[in-house]
């Protein structure tokens, strides 16, 4: 008899966005003429920048010639891309990162989910609530969370984020080993400024904790006091890992390319208290379980850092942030309390008292034919809230807001 990893049985039903997709598909089947506007899942709608497309075409041609053909690539990514990342995303901001601290991957979601494998199964974990589901679910799979009771896992340290604290998490009241932070935040769209982020780095330094910092949306930051990287904070290189993605920045949601920065100064400890390089351990994990991102895709990612590529992605980001402004201002005109949409492409809506997030999902789908994401899907503190994304087309964004305005909230 083959036994399973029973931690998988602790997972709650299906993945949030799979549940939403099934509900929308069922409604569409019953109402085939309905014009559905999808502002739920954070998928982009603008095509890849022309600079990226041109670079990928050239790379395809290279693959057709023996002299320039590429087989297996370097385990951690091609030097041409890692160098551009270091120069543009870090050194240009005064952050000292080296190429051998950068690991190219097929997505920040994959890396954030896989990184927990390195740590002890008994490591204590803190997550914000509400939270991106992958942080929690992968720790459920690993057996760190305990039983699910009354909407929470018994061994997880939840960091409540509510309208009362502007969805900014407070430091844990006890020691934790692993801390998941996302800024700009998915789902709430809020950010930690330098002073707030410095408190987390100080906590991690004092407690020998590791911060898993998801900055997939850093390119959407517009306010000057919001760090684009946790490594802008002194000492963070000793306690933090940073995850970034080309998905939302450059439209790579279907093309798949991202990277993770693991500083060589960051150490973890065995049961005897001996120090080990997290950089080396992650490298060992990747070389064992991952064969790298295709050369063609990495050449496309390299083109993001060209002058043309930088100009084009900034134009696309501005387009999405104008959508965010349209949603934010349109819903505020209804008297709703809105968070996010300034430094992030997500708009987080505080629903009227007594309205549950799944009830609002149903109302929005059936009466306005607009799809969003129920806040309860991101954790207990997400109940009573709702997320919309700015990644739709301009036409659909305007149309969706007008439809919502017609609802009786």
Return d(Cα 359, Cα 384) in angstroms, integer: 10
Q: Is 34 helix (H, G, I), strand (E, B) or coil?
A: coil
The answer to whether residues 142 and 393 touch, using CB atoms and an 8 Å cutoff, is no
The answer to whether residues 274 and 261 touch, using CB atoms and an 8 Å cutoff, is no
* CATH code of the domain occupying 53-306: 3.40.640.10
Q: Is 126 helix (H, G, I), strand (E, B) or coil?
A: strand
Return d(Cα 32, Cα 367) in angstroms, integer: 15
Q: Is 152 helix (H, G, I), strand (E, B) or coil?
A: strand
Using CA atoms, how far residue 165 sits from 170, 171, 340, in Å, is: 9, 12, 14
Return d(Cα 376, Cα 346) in angstroms, integer: 16
Return d(Cα 201, Cα 10) in angstroms, integer: 32
Same-fold call for 6-47+309-405 versus 53-306: no
The per-residue pLDDT for 151 is 87
> 179 has which bridge partners?
126, 211
The per-residue pLDDT for 14 is 66
Domain ranges of the chain: 6-47+309-405, 53-306
> 349 has which bridge partners?
338, 386
In tens, the pLDDT along 351-366 reads 999 999 999 999 999 9
pTM of full prediction above 0.85: yes
Smallest Cα–Cα separation from 341: which of 390, 378, 301, 381?
390
In tens, the pLDDT along 37-94 reads 999 888 999 999 999 999 999 999 999 999 999 999 999 999 999 999 999 999 999 9
Tokens representing 339 are 């968070």
Burial (CB count within 10 angstroms: exposed 0-12, middle 13-18, buried 19+), residue 371: buried
Regions in the chain scoring below 70 on pLDDT: 13-14
Return d(Cα 29, Cα 61) in angstroms, integer: 43
CATH class (in words) of the domain with range 6-47+309-405: alpha beta
């Amino acid at each position: 008899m083959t036994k399973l990893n029973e931690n998988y049985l602790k997972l709650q039903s299906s993945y949030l966005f799979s549940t939403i997709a099934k509900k929308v598909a069922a409604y569409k089947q019953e109402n085939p003429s309905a014009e559905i506007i999808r502002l739920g899942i954070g998928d982009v709608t603008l095509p890849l920048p022309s600079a990226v497309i041109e670079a990928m075409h050239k790379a395809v041609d290279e693959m057709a010639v023996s002299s320039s053909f590429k087989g297996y690539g370097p385990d951690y990514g091609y030097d041409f891309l890692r160098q551009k990342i270091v120069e543009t995303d870090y050194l240009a901001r005064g952050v000292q990162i080296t190429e051998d601290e950068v690991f190219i991957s097929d997505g920040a979601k994959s890396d954030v989910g896989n990184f927990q494998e390195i740590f002890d199964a008994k490591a204590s974990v803190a997550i914000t609530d509400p939270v991106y589901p992958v942080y929690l679910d992968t720790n459920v799979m690993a057996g760190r969370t305990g039983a699910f009771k009354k909407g929470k896992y018994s061994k997880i340290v939840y960091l409540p984020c509510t309208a009362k604290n502007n969805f900014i998490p407070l430091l844990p009241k006890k020691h934790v080993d692993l801390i998941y932070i996302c800024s700009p935040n998915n789902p709430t769209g809020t950010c930690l400024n330098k002073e707030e982020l410095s408190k987390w780095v100080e906590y991690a330094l004092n407690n020998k904790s590791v911060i898993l910092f998801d900055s997939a949306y850093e390119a959407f930051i517009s306010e000057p006091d919001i760090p684009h990287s946790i490594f802008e904070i002194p000492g963070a290189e000793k306690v933090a890992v940073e995850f970034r993605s080309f998905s939302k920045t450059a439209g790579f949601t279907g093309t798949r390319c991202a990277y993770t920065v693991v500083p060589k100064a960051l150490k973890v400890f065995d049961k005897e208290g001996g120090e080990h390089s997290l950089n080396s351990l992650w490298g060992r994990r990747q070389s064992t379980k991952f064969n790298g991102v295709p050369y063609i895709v990495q050449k496309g990612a390299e083109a993001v850092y060209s002058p043309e590529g930088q100009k084009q992605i900034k134009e696309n980001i501005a387009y999405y942030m104008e959508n965010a402004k349209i949603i934010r201002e349109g819903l505020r005109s209804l008297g709703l309390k809105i968070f996010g949409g300034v430094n992030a492409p997500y708009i987080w809506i505080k629903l009227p008292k007594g309205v549950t997030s799944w009830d609002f999902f149903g109302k929005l789908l059936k009466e306005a034919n607009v799809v969003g994401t129920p806040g309860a899907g991101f954790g207990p503190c997400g109940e009573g809230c709702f997320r919309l994304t700015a990644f739709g087309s301009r036409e659909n964004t305007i149309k969706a807001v007008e439809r919502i305005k017609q609802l009786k909230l």
